[in-house]
Structure 1
Amino acid sequence: MFQVSYIIEEYQCGRTPNPDVLCNTRIKFGSFMDAISSMKFDRVASGHYANVVHPPASETDEDSVLELSQDMVKDQTYFLSHLSQAQLKRLIFPLGCLSKDEVRKLATKFDLPNKDRKDSQGICFLGKIKFNEFIARHIGENKGVILEAESGDFLGNHRGFWFYTIGQRQGLCLPGGPWYVVEKDIKNNVVFVSRNYFSDEKRRRLFRVGSLKWLNGLPPNQISQLECKVRHGPAFCNCSLIMEPGEDGHEDVAVVHLSQDDQGLAAGQFAAFYRGRTCLGSGVILESWDDQGFPVCARALEIARLEDKSLLGKPVKIKVKPENVITESGEADGTELCGGLENSRIAAAKPPTPMQQLSFIPS
């Protein structure tokens, strides 16, 4: 199955894939549309929270346009941003003009069997299988070390770098936190962490995207005044793009400059681009960062290359940061719970304020 092999390959390479985007392009509106192509349907209706504006019947050469839905929190244009124009032309989204609350009220009014169904979370084809279990079953486990990025101190062990993504907090099981995954050494199976994830001097505004796909087939004419989403959700960020030719005949890439910092940029995720309410297309975030990447000290890099990690001995005793508050139980506020990757598949970023979320979305 394409989706399974895609996820496994991406995690083995140290990236954080987004199977939902490719599920739409390859399966829901790929294989499915191919299967019904002989049935002469004019349109395919889907329950995605999005809008598509089709040209008049007399102007069939004009492009269809993907636009934001009424419900900005549930909006799913991010997951539809990698569709082709041919796919988009055949789609309609009846829920795009409604909020999720309105949809639930209608479901109750008409006594639909799924009226009380909880919102779906995670990857649809996994069903009740936990994501950690899925990864362990297909990739296995390989014990590695966790090092502090700033000092190189040996803090503990992990089950394999593929269980962690940049920005992840859950599952580290380290006291004195919060700790965040900031980098990974794929070759040596080392995870670097830091408690200074949100420090001003270690933020990212610049990244590159490849596998670009524009819904009208061409990049936008004006690429200096766009908005960008680097994850599903209502938050946008102003951005500009610089197109670069690919090396050795490979496809073009784009350098993206964000107007504000984003800590949760993870290679393998998609970046979707917008102008106003219109979704223009998307690309895959590449692992080749500029010099704004999170700095890992020379000592940490040297220890990561050490072949016999048993020479490190026992993990150091982690000191609680002075600003952490000690609770009545004696634990530091922010001590990590041993959660799983299923709660952290997409890198975490400091949540924006409501004004930040809406500041780039025209009324």
Structure 2
Amino acid sequence: MLRVVSTLRPLLRSPLLPGPKPLPRPRRPPRPFRALSSAAPLAASPPSAPSPAPGAVEFREEHLVRCAAARRAPLRVAVLLSGGVDSSVALRLLHAAGHSCTAFYLKIWFQEDFRNFWSECPWDDDLKYAQAVCDKIDVPLEVVHLSDEYWNHVVSHMINEYRNGRTPNPDVLCNTRIKFGAFLEAIENLGFDYIASGHYAHVVHPPFENAEGPSVLQLSKDEVKDQTYFLSHLSQPQLRRLLFPLGCITKDEVRSLAVQMDLPNQARKDSQGICFLGKVKFSEFVQRHIGEMKGILLEAETGDYLGMHRGFWFYTIGQRQGLRLSGGPWYVVEKDVQNNVVFVSRNYYSLDKRRRTFRVGSLNWFSDSGPSDNERLKCKVRHSPDFHDCTVTKEQTEENGDVLAVRLSEDDQGLAAGQFAAFYRDSACLGSGIILDSWDEMSFPVCAKALETARMEDKSKMGKPIRIMNLEHLVKPEPEPAKVA
């Protein structure tokens, strides 16, 4: 059973992250989808255990359904279903645990606005697979449009961040503002106990005798697939409403379960890339919404003019691909946003250019207090199974309010303003913040000549770029054989 819902559309009451006003959005003709109203209630059935359905599978290993059981059943659960393997297995585990489930497919602006721009529609296959998964166990599927919310609270923020030379994380924003933001608010009064998804994370809710205690976001069993980094900026009220059935199992077990369940999408590959882009390349997204503006590439150490670039917003700190320079490898090390100049270096990983200290603002903690001053924690500065040991110090600044000064125990060359840093105490995620523009004395050094060249108004006088050859790649002439006297 498939229904399309177009008016689950409450605006977020307040932005979860500070930012400029949403950008104007191209107008589209209204969609003739049926509205959700009192005459068209959601198919959330009464809290009774579902009857066996075709394709039902028994799970003899308790740990497979531990994160789906939530200590009591049945519950009414709204399940976010993408058409991929992970969310499909999550739905089946919740169903096997005895919960009454309704599946929701979130359709967002990008997937629809670009239907005529690219040759194929990115979401058609996803929706077909989602419907087929639901049909096997007779679970209703609702298609919900949150296009306006997505444009206002994710896309506009991303575009403005890129224009200001920062590197936002759309997956964190999508989780915070859309999946567990606008959607959670939309179904708030529809009788669901929890929202569930196929994220690799584990939420430990307080016991019944301490119902007012905080919920805790913990690492998943699969450390490589763990997605707590993407969930680290949620609020405590959001966290208290979530279930992640895959938090107690590994990706290999998920794939095995998909085969055991005979899921129609069991052979689908995992999606790679940003939450909303689908089959669209990131560079195409940036080009379409920000455009191109030619600028110069300068070597940070010498100020030498090396070539041209398409616009500083296409590049992030530590980036190697797309520079098209000979004699490399070259890395982006700094950006001059005002003058549209990108500084590059071949010595990005040299010891004298290390980065260990940075500051984090827009702090979000799952508990009121957050970490202690000078506490030793672990942190992630990107989605990765790797952690940094770090020490955090609380500071108060006039420009950014409460910030956290972070000192890593080892170098990290890829720190980029606008990205999130998530903090952990043992296996528990404490929360996260946004890496700020302001760097300390450890930032990558750009020479005076390079800075002066970047400020030149008429860069046409610079002549042709310097072509640097990598001497190791040159073929050395063979030595002449020694003459025998």
Query: Per-residue deviation at 1:326?
Result: 5.0
Give the match for residue 170 of structure 1. Answer: 321
Distance 1:307 1:64 in 2: 55
From 288, 295, 300, give the equivalent of 2:450: 300
1:110-129 alignment to 2 at 5 Å? 110-129=261-280
From 255, 260, 263, give the equivalent of 2:405: 255
Distance 2:235 2:348 in 1: 37
From 148, 160, 166, give the equivalent of 1:15: 166
Gap regions ≥5 residues in structure 1 = 329-363
1:89 aligns with 2:240: yes
Query: Per-residue deviation at 1:124?
Result: 2.5
1:189-204 alignment to 2 at 5 Å? 189-204=340-355
From 127, 131, 138, give the equivalent of 2:282: 131
Distance 1:132 1:222 in 2: 41
8 Å CA contact 1:85–1:217 kept in 2: the answer is: no
CA-to-partner distance for each residue in 1:261-302, whole Å, 9 max, x for gaps?
100000000000001100000000001000100000000000
The alignment-based identity, stated in percent, is 66
Query: Per-residue deviation at 1:223?
Result: 4.4
Which one has a bigger Cα radius of gyration? 2
Distance 1:246 1:154 in 2: 37
* TM-score scaled by length of structure 2: 0.66
CA-to-partner distance for each residue in 1:218-266, whole Å, 9 max, x for gaps?
2223642100100001000111111111316x53011101011100000
Identify which of structures 1 and 2 has the higher relative contact order when contacts are C-alpha pairs closer than 8 Å and 6+ apart. Answer: 1
Give the match for residue 337 of structure 1. Answer: none
Gap regions ≥5 residues in structure 2 = 1-150, 477-485
Runs of 4+ in 1 over 6 A off after TM superposition: none
1:280 aligns with 2:430: yes
Distance 2:448 2:395 in 1: 31
SS, match of residue 255 in structure 1: strand
Give the match for residue 250 of structure 2. Answer: 99
Q: Which amino acid aligns with 2:272?
A: Q
Give the match for residue 239 of structure 1. Answer: 390
Query: Per-residue deviation at 1:114?
Result: 1.8
Distance 2:396 2:436 in 1: 15
8 Å CA contact 1:180–1:195 kept in 2: the answer is: yes
Q: Which amino acid aligns with 1:288?
A: S
Q: Which amino acid aligns with 2:335?
A: K
Given the superposition, is the C-alpha separation of residues 210 and 114 from structure 1 closer, same or farther in structure 2, using an over 3 Å criterion?
Answer: same
Q: Decide which moves more: 178-187 or 116-125.
A: 116-125
8 Å CA contact 1:108–1:115 kept in 2: the answer is: yes
Distance 1:49 1:59 in 2: 26
Distance 2:324 2:310 in 1: 12
Aligned-residue RMSD, C-alpha: 1.4
Q: Decide which moves more: 292-301 or 2-11.
A: 2-11
Distance 2:436 2:261 in 1: 46
SS, match of residue 196 in structure 1: coil
* TM-score scaled by length of structure 1: 0.87
CA-to-partner distance for each residue in 1:301-359, whole Å, 9 max, x for gaps?
00000111111100012131x4x44589xxxxxxxxxxxxxxxxxxxxxxxxxxxxxxx
From 272, 292, 314, give the equivalent of 1:141: 292
Q: Which amino acid aligns with 2:179?
A: K
Given the superposition, is the C-alpha separation of residues 222 and 275 from structure 1 closer, same or farther in structure 2, using an over 3 Å criterion?
Answer: farther
Query: Per-residue deviation at 1:44?
Result: 1.3
Query: Per-residue deviation at 1:73?
Result: 0.6
Give the number of aligned pairs. Answer: 325
Q: Which amino acid aligns with 2:421?
A: A
Distance 2:303 2:371 in 1: 44
Given the superposition, is the C-alpha separation of residues 326 and 218 from structure 1 closer, same or farther in structure 2, using an over 3 Å criterion?
Answer: farther
Q: Which amino acid aligns with 1:111?
A: D
Give the match for residue 338 of structure 1. Answer: none
8 Å CA contact 1:183–1:191 kept in 2: the answer is: yes
Distance 1:53 1:326 in 2: 59
